[in-house]
Amino acid sequence: MTGATATIPALAFIRLRSPDLDEAETFLTEFGLVKVDRTPTALYMRGTDPGAYLHVTELGDPQVVGFGYAARDVADLVALAGKQAVESIDGPGGGKRVRLTDPLGFQIEVVTDVAPAPALAVERPALNLGVHGPHREGKEFRVRRGPSQVKRIGHVVVHATDLQKTVSWYRETLGMLGTDDVWAGTPEHVIASFNRVNCGTTFVDHHVLFVVQQKRDGLNHISFEVQDFDDVLAGHHYLRSLGKYRHRWGIGRHFLGSQIFDYWEDPWGRIHEHWTDTDLVNEAYPKGSYPVEIGFASQWGDDAPEAFVNHSSR
């Protein structure tokens, strides 16, 4: 039980568990993250945007432990804590947290006062594109070879045997808002729900949490924004050239949310997404309702394989 609702402004990180931190670090580096710190029992990785870390791997049997969300201040933590303690965080940037459990059994850490690290330098050539005009006069276009350059964490997609219970918990506990529903047969039969953070008039990502009704609770995938379209493609071809990771879906562009996407498995089967170019919405956005034929469609690219749609990690 939580004490009250807190309106969280952002997803902060994912916490996984893996039996080999060397192997985890290799995958995440080749996926496009940067190591912040490593202890005998934990690995912390970040992106190029300011922030202490966005991916934590604990040493242990393969498991999806849970997700971290940013709170506005300690008062939100106190409101959420109820009978639980507000804890100090033993990790890069320090800070405070409250640990909750969502209806799927995932650990939800709500954190604040984590000291940010400065942004990292990014290699990104200028584009000469249509209405945007020329920006690269007298210069060649050269995309760097190697991993994508991950900016930040974007959203999580989870499977739930009880969609309404899960969605209600996140809205009532973390203050999320519904962005779009997806239905099958009739609009009353909602089978998936896109949810965003509530930042009032400030524009935010189309969704930070997507919940899909399924036969098993679990994580479908975790997503990370990269620099641009070229960075998605560069990362795709780099990972493919290594020949050791399983590609699950992409490249394409979603209909709802509009992200250009590409999905890869880590060595233990957890799906990590590269994406760029999401829709941004605010409190004025009218909640949408779409049949599954549209809601799960792509604007271009192959349809999602059944193995991806049904994939669920615990």
Copy the structure tokens of residue 36.
Answer: 């912040």
Q: What is the pLDDT of residues 250-291, one digit of tens each?
A: 999 999 999 999 999 999 999 999 999 999 999 999 999 999
Copy the structure tokens of residue 208.
Answer: 């930070």
Q: Helix %, strand %, coil % for the chain, to 5?
A: 20, 40, 45
249 DSSP β-pair partners? 263
Looking at residue 180, its pLDDT comes to 98
The least confident of 9-13, 144-148, 213-217, 298-302 is 144-148
Say yes or no to pLDDT of 147 above 60. yes
At residue 142 the predicted structure's pLDDT band, cuts being 50, 70 and 90, is: confident
Copy the structure tokens of residue 25.
Answer: 């670090």
Higher-pLDDT residue of 74, 141: 74
Say yes or no to pLDDT of 59 above 60. yes
Q: What is the pLDDT of residues 194-241, one digit of tens each?
A: 999 999 999 999 999 999 999 999 999 999 999 999 999 999 999 999
Say yes or no to pLDDT of 3 above 60. no
DSSP 218: E
The least confident of 17-31, 125-139, 140-154, 293-307 is 125-139
Q: What is the pLDDT of residues 83-104, one digit of tens each?
A: 788 999 999 999 999 999 999 9
SS (H, E, C) 225-280: EECCHHHHHHHHHHHHHHCCCCEEEEEEEECCCCCEEEEEECCCCCEEEEEECCCE
Looking at residue 130, its pLDDT comes to 62
Structural contact between residues 271 and 311, judged by C-beta atoms closer than 8 angstroms? yes
Looking at residue 314, its pLDDT comes to 87
CA–CA dist 85, 102 (Å, integer): 17
Across the range 26-42, mean pLDDT stands at 98
Cα of 289 vs its chain's centroid, Å: 23
Copy the structure tokens of residue 171.
Answer: 């809205």
Q: What is the pLDDT of residues 157-194, one digit of tens each?
A: 999 999 999 999 999 999 999 999 999 999 999 999 99
Higher-pLDDT residue of 7, 124: 7
At residue 1 the predicted structure's pLDDT band, cuts being 50, 70 and 90, is: very low
Q: What is the pLDDT of residues 107-139, one digit of tens each?
A: 999 999 999 999 999 987 777 766 666 777 788
At residue 143 the predicted structure's pLDDT band, cuts being 50, 70 and 90, is: confident
Q: How many residues in the chain? A: 314
